[in-house]
């Protein structure tokens, strides 16, 4: 994952007015569902129209599940589950839908995916305005190590990211 | 006309600031598993559930691969999965290294407008055990 240095002037807190620095993920735009389907196309015997229809129907089934308040399973990606926050009241009878303040959806990544995410290779790159990636493999670093309280543990630097397509 | 969908809640007793209170809590239903999803998709598309399941698994694996490569992946109609990083601020540019700044990396999900609309349209109904259910004795 590519990161870039960002400089921010603090507007609140003890360091108000001072410049602070941090790293931020560089976004190269979204990979679309269509691109993913194109990539898996070679691994199936179905036509592109069929796989499109399957994914379209899959999204429909997922939306219906969430509409019914069900926890939906995305296999290796994890689960989405509905969530509400509500006001506390004194009696059971007062507990009506009016006490529900917010409703939304929460995502819980699959355990293996969450573990793999912590081992992602990170590199700080220079991004020039209006230009894309400037690869610099020498800058490649991992978040582990140092004196920080990180205990994720390296696993030999192997690339266990699955897949195998060039994006 | 589209069928109205509901999230089911029930009143649960909780301690709030050492006082007994009642709070509306979602009643958890069974998971919509990948197998069930595959079955429902197969009914709509006249394709065998096993074949649907195979395509969905390949699709998820490929999304996973992209996320772990640092990309955001958008599933049209559902939302975007993306690698999410929390980092802390440091005083100088020289101190802004991966080891100094990066605190955690996880995966985030941003729901699409369609999904938000589905959630907003869902109503609430209180959990009501069947009226004619006989209490268990003993």
The residues spanned by each domain of chain B are: 33-126
Q: Are residues A88 and A114 in the same domain?
A: yes
DSSP B90: B
CB atoms A88 and B55 under 8 Å: no
pLDDT at B17: 87
CB-based contact A72:B36 (threshold 8 Å): no
pLDDT at A143: 47
pLDDT at B2: 65
Q: How far is CA A138 from CA A1, A117, A122, A135, A141, in A?
A: 14, 21, 11, 9, 9
Q: Are residues A114 and A75 in the same domain?
A: yes
Q: Are residues A131 and A160 in the same domain?
A: yes
pLDDT at A95: 87
Residue A52's region, left for phi above 0, alpha for psi from -120 to 50, else beta, is alpha
Low-confidence ranges of chain A (pLDDT < 70): 127-167
Low-confidence ranges of chain B (pLDDT < 70): 1-2, 129-138
B49–A contact, CB cutoff 8 A: no
pLDDT at B50: 87
CB atoms A62 and B51 under 8 Å: no
Q: Are residues A19 and A1 in the same domain?
A: yes
pLDDT at B113: 94
Q: Where in the sequence is the domain holding A97, given as residue range(s)?
A: 71-118
Which residues in B lie closer than 8 A to residue A97 (C-beta atoms)? Answer: 9, 24, 123-124, 126
A84–B contact, CB cutoff 8 A: yes
What does the pLDDT look like over B38-52, one tens digit per residue?
A: 888 888 877 888 888
Closest CA to B85 of A66, A94, A121, A104: A121
B127–A contact, CB cutoff 8 A: no
Arithmetic mean of pLDDT over chain B: 86
* Residue A132, min C-alpha distance to chain B (Å): 14
Class of domain B33-126: few secondary structures
* Residue A109, min C-alpha distance to chain B (Å): 6
Structural domains counted in chain A? 3
* Residue A36, min C-alpha distance to chain B (Å): 7
pTM of the model: 0.78
B9–A contact, CB cutoff 8 A: yes
């Amino acid at each position: 994952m590519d990161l870039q240095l960002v400089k921010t002037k603090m507007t609140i807190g003890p360091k108000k007015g001072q410049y602070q620095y941090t790293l931020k993920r560089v976004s190269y735009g979204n990979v679309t569902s269509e691109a993913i389907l194109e990539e898996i196309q070679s691994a199936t015997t179905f036509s592109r129209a069929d796989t499109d229809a399957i994914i379209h129907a899959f999204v429909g089934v997922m939306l219906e599940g969430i509409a019914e308040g069900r926890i939906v399973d995305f296999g290796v990606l994890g689960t989405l589950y509905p969530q509400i926050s509500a006001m506390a009241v004194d009696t059971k009878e007062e507990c009506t839908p009016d006490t529900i303040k917010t409703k939304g959806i929460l995502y819980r990544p699959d355990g293996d995916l969450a573990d793999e995410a912590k081992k992602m290779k990170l590199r700080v790159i220079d991004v020039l305005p209006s230009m894309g990636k400037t690869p610099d493999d020498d800058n490649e670093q991992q978040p582990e190590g140092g004196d920080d309280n990180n205990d994720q543990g390296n696993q030999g630097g192997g690339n266990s990211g699955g897949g195998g397509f060039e994006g | 006309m589209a069928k109205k969908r509901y999230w089911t809640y029930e009143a649960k007793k909780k301690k709030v600031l050492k006082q007994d209170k009642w709070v509306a809590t979602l009643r958890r239903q069974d998971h919509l598993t990948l197998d069930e999803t595959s079955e429902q998709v197969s009914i709509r598309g006249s394709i065998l559930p096993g074949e649907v399941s195979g395509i969905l698994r390949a699709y998820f694996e490929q999304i996973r691969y992209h996320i772990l490569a640092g990309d955001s992946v958008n599933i049209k109609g559902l939302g975007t999965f993306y690698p999410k990083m929390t980092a802390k601020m440091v005083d100088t540019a020289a101190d802004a290294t991966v080891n100094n700044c990066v605190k955690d990396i996880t995966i985030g999900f941003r729901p699409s407008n369609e999904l938000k609309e589905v959630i907003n349209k869902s109503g609430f109904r209180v959990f009501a055990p069947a009226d004619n259910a006989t209490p268990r004795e003993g």
